[in-house]
Amino acid sequence: MSLAILTPSAKPSNRTRTARLVSLLLASFIGMAQVTNAQQSVAKPVFTDGQAQVVPAFSNSSEWIREHLWVETEFDSDKNGKKDRVHVDVTRQKQTDTEGLKVPVIYESSPYFAGTANGGAILWDVKHELGAEPPARTFHPDVRFEPNRTMISNELVGTWIPRGFAVVHSEAPGTGLSEGSPTVGGAPERLAPKAVIDWLNGRAKGFTTKSGENEIKATWCTGKVGMTGTSYNGTIPVAAATTGVKGLEAIIPVAPNTSYYHYYRSNGLVRHPGGWLGEDIDSLYDFIHSGDPATRAMSNQLYRDGEFAKNQDRRTGDYNAFWAERDLLKFTGNIKCAVLMAHAFNDWNVVPEHSFRISQAVRGKVPLVQYFHQGGHGGDPPLELMNKWFTRFLYGIQNGVENGPKSYIVRESTPGTSRRSMPAPTPYADYPNPAASSVTFYPSAGGNSVGSLTTTKLKKTIIEQLLDDVSFDAPSLAKASESPNRLLFATPELSTPLHLSGTVRVTLKLASSTAFANLSVYLVQLPWTDGPISPANLITRGWADPQNAKSLKGGDYHSLEKGTPLKPGEYVTLSFDLQPDDQIIPAGKKIALMVLSSDRDFTLWPKPGTKLSVDLSATQITLPIVGGEKAYIAAVKK
């Protein structure tokens, strides 16, 4: 059948014109239907009960788009005359390419992704006399360098990609395939994640190779970024937030180290993180230094053997400008994003004050919720809470998560580690529990056995003594019915449970027989249960240097720049906080204050023999009790 070609002189009939019109209308209808069906088939995030749901079209990992690139920063940490570039990987849904889908990002940065050194090889010798120069740490391990890696990490992708978020990772400066030097808390650790967030928002340049000029852009990103991670990986979200970078909308730091002074020192005292006896900031530098071997010698000279060696000061433990630069508290005025802070009350690696001090600083300025549990280092908030947090602030879904309880506390004993499931938390109006108020307790005579701890102050001067001997650990001293190496004072036995919530504060008046002494203070439950330290026997603890008594007297907690050697026999007074806690002490237990000198799990190990004399009439401890003094009186009433 041939088709007639119409010429201007050959006009179609009315029937022909009608048929053509019907055909055009039909084609138009079919086209519109196809567009509508295509629009309906576009994969989009789905939200139910204020949470992003798993979308089947996002869940096939074989279809995910994976990229790796280098983002140019604004700093030159290795001083080679070029701005450092940091290594970044991206995992995103295929629909961000095929269907024009734009998604927000959940971002984790770390110095650990490329591997670390043997931890035992990096530690200082803790058998070190107080006030003396420490023996040199001479062995420095090399971390294996992997130059051909194309992916940084698979963390987070299985949880968040199916729920409609892209996931981004980056390696900290001087680690993995990132350029530069590890500065361990220095400005580059704040500015490197800022650069990545700037790239996601089109304000910084990303390149397909470390030294090339071929750019890659994040056109698939909405510009909204949330950050999370645990330990060092939890530190970096807080560090990024303190830059005030636009686009960082929410962070969920888990067990973040927010001050390297608070990590490696305590109230003027050299104190090591739990489980890492002998670690210091230069040790951590060696532990993470996995960057290009060609630049390591220069980095070592600049930082480990230069700035760190000059300023970390293991002799006095005093605060200085080096430590101040590595304290994120001073930068919290720049934080603009929503903060969901997570920590464990029994984390003795990164102690809980690290999170609490940041929460206190941003309270009332940004959306803030705190999550605490009774486990050890790490432990994410429940996924539902994390999901609501990121859904609210990255997708703008009004789920009210910021308007509900301001604190969630897991009160059950949980020995969990990082990213383990925790029991359901109890919601509080805030933390500390608003119903808690301070109750002051005073010791009486008999601390070498078990003296009493009551709300009645001594009316006469009583001096009691203890001998320093690091060969006895704290559990042994707490269990002993009598010991010359500690002072122990206990309340009457509780007849009903008693709830503590907040920060314990201790004031001691003491004299030392030597110019230098360690001081360790524990709040424990008696009788001490057998086995390792746990919430069933330890409530909280803290450490201080009596040389810094002038700074600590009256509670000037932040002024620790200059310790003064003690004059043997001369009394000094110091006040300081123990670690924050929230715990219900069960009936049948006693609450006890224990004072000792060297702590074999945390402090330096001087030779035994230093004698501490404590003036009990000028010593007290203040407990944050829910219900105040009335609750305490009721709990000890027979």
Give the integer Cα–Cα distance in Å for 550 and 562.
9
Q: Is 23 a catalytic residue?
A: no
Give the integer Cα–Cα distance in Å for 160 and 152.
17
Give the integer Cα–Cα distance in Å for 339 and 359.
8
Residue of 77, 153, 181, 231 marked catalytic: 231
- Which tokens belong to 103? 């998604």
Give the integer Cα–Cα distance in Å for 294 and 300.
11
3-state secondary structure of 435: coil
Give the integer Cα–Cα distance in Å for 154 and 61.
11
Give the integer Cα–Cα distance in Å for 565 and 244.
42
Give the integer Cα–Cα distance in Å for 162 and 59.
5
Question: Cα–Cα distances in Å, from 271 out to 148, 351, 518?
Answer: 39, 12, 10
Q: Is 84 a catalytic residue?
A: no
Pick the closest to residue 238 from 221, 225, 252, 217 (CA basis). 252
Number of neighbours of residue 209 by Cβ within 10 angstroms: 12
Pick the closest to residue 519 from 539, 538, 541 (CA basis). 541
The DSSP code for 478 is: H
Residue of 377, 468, 581, 598 marked catalytic: 377
Q: Is the separation of the CB atoms in 591 and 623 below 8 Å?
A: yes
Q: Is 495 a catalytic residue?
A: no
Q: Is the separation of the CB atoms in 488 and 451 below 8 Å?
A: yes
The continuous run of DSSP H or E covering 489 comes out as strand 487-490
Q: What are phi and psi of 135, to 5 degrees?
A: -65, 145
- Our CA dihedral for 93, 95, 97, 98, rounded to 10 degrees, sits at 150
Residue of 78, 282, 327, 347 marked catalytic: 347
For the annotated catalytic residues, the residue numbers are 231, 347, 377
